[in-house]
Structure 1
């Protein structure tokens, strides 16, 4: 064990030096990464070294855009035929659950069409200008990325995301709903409906859009084959952490990222890539956006149900931030900030739907005299339900109903918002609805940020490494907070391994009252409003043990995700496929980026993986350089007290430093237009998730102070009203105290 720690010491030191150097503003001296870290923009060395490549003229660029439009227009006939043939996502199927989770907003679809035209135009430019000059697909795509969409028909579409902010917007005491105008010099940075950031150059087979292949040029192994070979269903509980860690992880993921699946270009119709019974479609029914996952004939679960196809629709395309031609990028429908967008929505229109416009309150419904989320008027559309008489909730994110603990968390925070708004209205009777709403939103968002950085993140990232970078927390307008594709598509998704397939529902004495199987409640949230269930689920999060972060997943999410009652999907297979769709380079590229030694043979992985895992990887992959990022990252042994191995520790550390340092409205930033006073910050620093649970349950009387940790002698159950679990004193927000000083 000591030897292993020594072997990892230097690489991990490199990881920390890299992360710190970036956020200390000394990236230019870092040697672990080639700039630019964003992965956008051309490589000038490529252009210099290929002076013989003909200059692409404005006329050439416009012709390529016309060609791209013609490619998209030719989809009309196929999509019409698919409509006539009734090939679309059917309600009641696992595909429908997946559609809800990756539901595309109108804005994303509109931008996606034009961004796709730019992608198709790039392909034509490559065919004309690069092949005969023997540029590799990667070098060619970098070369073409030096050309702007300016002066082409796509210029206005791309520039729409580069809105200019007025002085009033820049000096607003409150952040925008869509995340724009946060950075004073780059208004769209971090806004919703912009592209994920790249840590490494995208890796596509053709340099633009086709998923990569293995080193030997053959197809990569089926994502389900990889999953079924590596994943073990017998899970192992964590000795110290609770399910609240897993649940907060999912909640924060929904705040920072929301990847959307494509719909048909010429209509609002959904795209289905397999039959309802889980079989491959005839080639004439395959939409170009389909990338279905083939299931092996001898699959231990799916074979018995005759399933050989798992539907996967490729993610919506995004314009590149610099409005250039170039490889495929994917849109993030969430804002890139930790700003509670999953609660408040990412547009002013969505936020308005969720408000009462009375005393700063969020909209709600009541049942059994208890407050719950507002209900959907079309539950069979927004949930996996058979009719419109069933319960389905609304919030700022379509995933609010994905499983009962997510719904419970949304409900608790809805109540927290309305509780705070009510107190503020009593303290400040002169405040109008807008002031009450925005001040409450600002306080509640600060509470969530504090819990994330001071309760949750030290447990996920590990206190040892977290403390080393904690001092690099000042706002820096040069830091890009945008969520990385590697974080959203791989690192944060690995936390699904913490979940349990059975959710325990506890009484106040912490004896299990009952339990529910996760597989029966995907997008079926009615249990949350049944008497005693909300409190039981909340106590369950704080009492039931988390699972270990490893290659063990409960079958509720490895074979019954979004189940139709017979079979569902495999969450790990979908995540692997999404990584390939998004052009993520292989695991070995990221481990090298994070300071670990280069890998040429499977045995080289022994510095961070067990012999058993390496043997399994060698059975499914032809080369270690084929390993998908999420697979290699989750296969690594844990680093110190981090839940992750070194590669995902690196990626997560990078993201959460950027999320804080690049957010002008982060609650601790004293240079925002209307910062919290010192007295107010002291109050916010008292908040814990235990306090949120105590204040917003139906009848929760006791909670341990650290709900992310199991109940123990050092973390005993306390009376909620005993003073052992501190309360935020909202009197610090009385107008008479001059809120900001």
Structure 2
């Protein structure tokens, strides 16, 4: 414990001296690069396991696994009964919309079954041995991590958790689709369908899986009651930033993170925890994976007058622990943990192949150069006809709202634009080489825009310095996405949304608009004349909202609406944080160097009195405050859109995302690095250029699409040299350092 505290103190010291490191020379940096690793692991993986003196034999472990399998097998009767009773997710309902966003792929379902067995077995061990001795659940759950699957029926699943990469795989000039073999020492590190990592030890009521409770052991406040207490709908526009900041952030979130909603064990069908009208179900119809959000007693204006009692929330599919041990649950990430365009290309070879045309390296497109069409629009979108527009991409959330669909569209087009030009330069290249070379360039463009443009808008110089100081690839750095980053920090970007999507002409005049609530998972407007360009101009013109307690009503009361009622995005995110075992806000603020909060007034170092009063009236103890709630109520730091706690979590993630990626575009020791000249070309790329090149008729754009048009960021012609272009002539085979 002393060792862990020692590393914690040193890590906080690194954060607090970030400005010093920004000016440090290379030799001094090399002596502290290890902090990039201990910043995570000293607070989770390296915490010591205390021997509780409990004797658990291999027979006990086997019996617990047998018991867990029997529990899951016994669900068949309930699931059959639910089918007979027509308790299911109905097409077009808010529950359907929720399922589209977090739908599990077959790989997640298969791996999740083993993780569920491990979780149920861990609960049985805890009940049999820890409760018997009246031991602390959290200490006992941690003790269980010292017992591995070896010698139990789960050992075969542990074997699937290992991957030894061949010499050919490790030396491949192209990163894998599923993220495997990025690290030679651990071929599974960063791969899709592995678990999120953690910055802090999980906080479950039973130490294993049950959502945490308040410090006084009572139930935490309902997520919906918290949302109603915290949120208002007054617009707070950012004076400088555009909605492109929000949209790029969501696009990145979908690249790095995709939790999976659990489905029925025996039928693999979606689970409904409320009636189709939003009423509570009889207990006999509630699936064990249900954790619905109940309407608040304060909710008399928006929901209870419509007799809505219940919003469907199904718990996320768990993941096997990375060390193949019993103990607390983790959750599966269906995306790769790398910034590698998985929302475009998919995270499995099956998905990737379904998106390729297999002609000249291009991705499949539908008529008029739009995204390929879904074969099952009534399943993949909230539409009422099999002939409705519904697109497919590498991520199921492609149709979530029109601006996101537009972003997917222009990146599919960017891939095909580059592939076509490369085919002209190297006419002898076959389809697969063209596809892989194009994908490599597109990923480099996305990484460059993220680190060179977007991060400069969202983080202060202090935290940008941390990312820049620790940027050289390190085989020992785990790039895995943290649960807190995916489940709370990036979800706070929903606060940037505007419920009124303005459509702009070339003169940057808003001549019409779309109401967000009408277009969740319903992209029918995209292919109408002029709409795609109007959406692109809107991203570069319309003011961003701010990350605070001000949310668009479309997201708080009308999310995935079917016209009668909708869900609440903040309530769902609070519930997901509890589902995923995220500790409270106070623990994360302490992790990030803020003082320990023993009472609500201790939040005054980062919050105004008004926000402290809201929290004290909503929660009974400061340690009960949910991470996402505390994070959005912090004062933003100068030069940032986030407060200090979220800034810290984001800086940590993007440091590891870069430092732990062997194929990161600037890494010189990857199997096939870009030449210096090629890198210089990639570094010309901006989001403005992507907008210019891939709209239907975008003729002008400001140089920095993340910043509103002003005297130093004025509109310029897309055809001129004011917005630089990447020249692909340097990719001609045999030129310079370029080789195959």
TM-score range, shorter chain: over 0.9
2:106 is the counterpart of 1:101: no
Does the CA contact (< 8 Å) of 2:16 and 2:593 recur in 1? no
> What residue is the counterpart of 1:254 in the other structure?
254
| Alignment-derived partner of residue 351 in structure 2 | 350
Q: Which residue in 2 is equivalent to 1:662?
A: 660
- Counterpart check, 1:573 vs 2:571: yes
Q: Within 1, Cα distance between the matches of 2:125 and 2:247?
A: 46
Task: Map 1:272-311; keep pairs closer than 5 Å.
Answer: 272-299=272-299, 300-311=301-312
For 1:381 and 1:62, locate their aligned partners in 2 and report how far apart those are by CA, in whole Å: 40
**1:692 maps to which residue?**
690
For residues 716 and 35 of structure 1, what CA distance do their matches in structure 2 show?
46
CA offsets 1:590-615 (integer angstroms, 9 cap, x no match): 11111110111111111101111111
3-state SS in 2 of match to 1:529: coil
Q: Is the 8 A contact 2:41 2:199 kept in 1?
A: no
Which string of whole-angstrom CA distances, capped at 9 and with x for unpartnered residues, describes residues 394-437 of structure 1? 10100000000110000000000000000000000111100000
Return the offset for 1:34. Answer: 8.6
CA 386–25 in structure 1, closer or farther in 2 if over 3 Å, else same: farther
Whether the 8 Å CA contact 1:462–1:642 is kept in 2: the answer is: yes
Aligned residues of 2:466 and 2:655 also touching (Cα < 8 A): no
Where do residues 137-286 of structure 1 align in structure 2 (5 Å cutoff)?
137-286=137-286
Q: Confirm or deny: 8 A CA contact 1:18 1:30 kept in the other structure.
A: no
1:624-703 to 2 correspondence within 5 Å? 624-703=622-701
1:7 corresponds to: none
Cα distance between partner residues in 2 of 1:382 and 1:404: 15
**Residues 149-158 or 599-608, more deviating:** 149-158
SS at structure 1 position matched to 2:239: strand
Displacement after TM superposition at 1:467 (Å): 3.4
Cα distance change on mapping 1:34 and 1:725 into 2, 3 Å: closer
- Matches of 2:461 and 2:188, distance apart in 1: 33
Report if aligned partners of 1:23, 1:479 keep a CA contact under 8 Å in 2: no
Partner of 2:42: 36
**Cα distance in 2 between the residues matched to 1:176 and 1:32:** 27
Q: CA RMSD in A?
A: 2.0
Contact 2:11–2:39 under 8 Å retained in 1: no
- Provide the TM-score with structure 1 as the length reference: 0.95
Q: State the Cα distance separating 1:464 from its structure 2 match.
A: 4.4
Superposition map of 1:80-99 within 5 A: 80-99=80-99
Distance 1:33 1:447, change over 3 A: closer
Identify the match of residue 421 of structure 1 among 391, 399, 419. 419
CA deviation after TM superposition for structure 1 residue 234, in Å: 0.9
Asked if the contact 1:464–1:641 (Cα under 8 Å) also holds between the matched residues in 2, the reply is: no
Where do residues 331-346 of structure 1 align in structure 2 (5 Å cutoff)? Answer: 331-346=332-347
- Partners of 2:37 and 2:313 in 1: how far apart? 38
* Secondary structure of 1:380's aligned partner: helix
Q: Distance in 2 between matches of 1:13 and 1:505?
A: 47
Find the counterpart in structure 1 of residue 714 from structure 2.
716
- Displacement of 1:125 after TM fit? 1.1
Q: Distance in 2 between the 1:23 and 1:493 partners? A: 33
Aligned partner of 1:541 among 531, 539, 542? 539
Which residue in the other structure is 2:71 paired with? Answer: 71
Q: Report if aligned partners of 1:90, 1:276 keep a CA contact under 8 Å in 2.
A: yes
CA distance in 2, matches of 1:519, 1:12: 42
- Secondary structure in structure 2 of the residue aligned to 1:69: helix
Once the 2 structures are TM-superposed, how far is the Cα of residue 122 of structure 1 from its aligned partner?
0.7
Cα shift at 1:41: 7.0
> What secondary structure is seen at the aligned counterpart in 1 of 2:513?
strand
**Secondary structure of the corresponding residue to residue 385 of structure 1:** coil
Match of 1:390? 388
Moved more, 464-473 or 231-240: 464-473
SS at match of 1:543: coil
Cα distance in 2, alignment partners of residues 531 and 490 from structure 1: 37
Q: What is the distance in 2 between the residues matched to 1:32 and 1:614? A: 32
Cα 1:24/1:94, change in 2 over 3 Å: farther
For the residues of structure 2 that align with 1:699 and 1:735, how far apart are their CA atoms?
Answer: 32
Instruction: Please state if 1:60 is matched with 2:60.
Output: yes
Alignment of 1:121-132 (within 5 A): 121-132=121-132
> 1:30: Cα distance to partner?
9.8
Q: Distance in 1 between matches of 2:257 and 2:125?
A: 32
CA contact (8 A) 2:499 2:515 kept: yes
Q: How many residues align?
A: 723
Q: Closer, same or farther in 2 for the Cα pair 1:133/1:590, shift >3 Å? A: same
Alignment check: 8 A CA contact 2:225 2:298 kept: no
Q: Say whether residues 1:439 and 2:437 are aligned partners.
A: yes
Q: CA deviation at 1:78?
A: 0.7
TM-score normalized by structure 2?
0.95
Give the Å deviation of 1:268: 1.8
Q: Provide the rounded CA distance (Å) in 2 between the counterparts of 1:700 and 1:463.
A: 33
Structure 1, residues 489-546: CA drift from partner, whole Å, max 9, x if none? Answer: 0011111101100111110011112100000000001111111000000000000000
Structure 2 runs not aligned, ≥5 long: 1-9, 23-27
In the alignment, structure 1 segments of 5+ residues that lack a partner are 1-9
Q: Choose from 448, 451, 454 the match for 2:452.
A: 454
How far, CA to CA, are the matches of 2:239 and 2:18 in structure 1? 32
Deviation of 1:462 after TM superposition, in Å, equals: 2.3
1:3 corresponds to: none
Change (3 A) 1:18 1:124: farther
